Amino acid sequence: MEMSQATRRRAYLIGLPLTIAFTLLRMITIFHAPETTSYYFLALPSFLAIQVILFFLVLFKKQLHRISLFLLLAMGSFYWGAILFQPLTGISYRAEMTEIASWVGIFYLISFWFLGTKNGLRFSLIYATLLVTTTIAFNLNRLAVVEERNAILFLAVFSLAIINGLHVLAKTVAIKSKLAWEMTNLAHQDSLTGLPNRLALEDKLKEAFQDQQSLAVFFLDVDGLKNVNDTYGHKAGDSMIVTVANRLKTLLRTHDFVCRVSGDEFVIICPNLSDKANISAVVERIQASLTKPVQLETCTVTVSASIGASLYPHNSQNPEELVRQADAAMYQIKKSGKNGFCFYDDLATEALTEAQLKLEPALT
């Protein structure tokens, strides 16, 4: 059964101080032994420092990585076993206990690559148990080496603990990075069509403006979607929108950008496209594709598109203004009967002409 976060934290707060106390006791007995190598003067204080750091991390940071539990069990168990079963006199006994460190260490390290993190952590508990068991067996038989050879075994355990910690940490960072990337994608993606959404559009426009390259912005509204929803239901309307999105993706170039900004509205950005003849050709392909009949589950429907366009830097050098201009041009097509195309320049010219026509009678 999975241990709760609160229970795990209580275990840390109880276990870590005990391990610190045992380590201090071990330091006292080792440093007063008849034979003491210089290794212990570095290893034991280092291990003690790690334990103290972990203790304060648990004390002040509730969300602690499981590596702390592993270090407590694997390294702490080694010292508990050493204190309980190793002679406190520090007298060395002839044996080859270090042979254990080689094959156990190798299998222990490999286990994390083949068993995965969770099973690797379970294996670490088995390894810690094996370590205590071998300590008991060798010391009861007076075969343990309590100086250099035992020090090598400790180095193996310590090194493997650090390697395991780095591996688990790297895996955790990778998982968190993947989740962050997925969350960012979801925030910038339309859930129905899989196309980028309005947030992604803002980022794309900023990126395009930084490159200072000419571009065309199209604002497209699907004509007839409301009739499809009213007649055949919203499920049919959603299928219609997905079909429109897929057709737009297949029509455009690889470096073009298309996004869905609302129910039946799409925005298209085409970099390095400023010639009006080429823009009109692109629009003709879009309209020809969208007016083809769409086979839904229970019916066949036909829709069209009203499209407005604005140009950078010709019409504006402001990203939001460009989109508004293309939207205004599209709205003019909707008022004029739908299923058409209009440049923002044409809209401005038409407005000027209307103003002149209204002004002429007043001047005569």
Q: What angle do CA 224, 245, 312 make, to 5 degrees?
A: 95
Task: Please check the confidence at residue 349 and state whether its pLDDT lies above 60.
Answer: no
Residue 1, classed as helix, strand or coil, is: coil
> Nearest-CA neighbor of 151 among 107, 70, 86, 89?
86
Task: Judge whether 74 and 186 are in contact, CB under 8 Å.
Answer: no
Round the CA-based radius of gyration of the chain to a whole number and report it: 36
Q: Quick one: fold of 198-363?
A: Alpha-Beta Plaits (3.30.70)
Task: Judge whether 265 and 288 are in contact, CB under 8 Å.
Answer: no
Task: Judge whether 319 and 206 are in contact, CB under 8 Å.
Answer: yes
Dist CA 206 CA 147 (whole Å): 66
Average pLDDT, the chain: 70
Helix then strand count (H, E) for the chain reads 12, 7
Region class of 339: left (phi > 0), else alpha (psi between -120 and 50), else beta: left
Task: Please check the confidence at residue 280 and state whether its pLDDT lies above 70.
Answer: yes
Task: Please check the confidence at residue 91 and state whether its pLDDT lies above 60.
Answer: no
- According to the model, what pLDDT value does residue 306 have? 93
Highest mean pLDDT among 69-83, 129-143, 320-334, 342-356: 320-334
Residues 6+ apart with CB under 8 A from 165: 67, 70, 71
Dist CA 116 CA 175 (whole Å): 14
pTM given for the model = 0.52
- The residue ranges of every structural domain in the chain are 5-186, 198-363
Which amino acid, 171? K
| 100 — pLDDT class (breaks 50, 70, 90) | very low
Residues 6+ apart with CB under 8 A from 20: 48, 51, 52, 55
- According to the model, what pLDDT value does residue 327 have? 92
Phi then psi dihedrals of residue 89, to 5 deg: -75, -20
Task: Judge whether 80 and 187 are in contact, CB under 8 Å.
Answer: no
As a whole number of angstroms, the longest Cα–Cα distance in the chain is 123
Dist CA 133 CA 106 (whole Å): 18
Please compute the mean of the pLDDT values over residues 55-68 and round it to a whole number: 58
Task: Judge whether 218 and 308 are in contact, CB under 8 Å.
Answer: yes
Highest mean pLDDT among 113-122, 214-223, 352-361: 214-223
Task: Please check the confidence at residue 198 and state whether its pLDDT lies above 90.
Answer: no
Task: Please check the confidence at residue 31 and state whether its pLDDT lies above 90.
Answer: no
Condensed to tens digits (0 to 9), the pLDDT of residues 146-195 reads: 444 454 455 555 555 555 556 666 777 777 778 777 777 677 788 889 89
Which DSSP state fits 253?
A: -
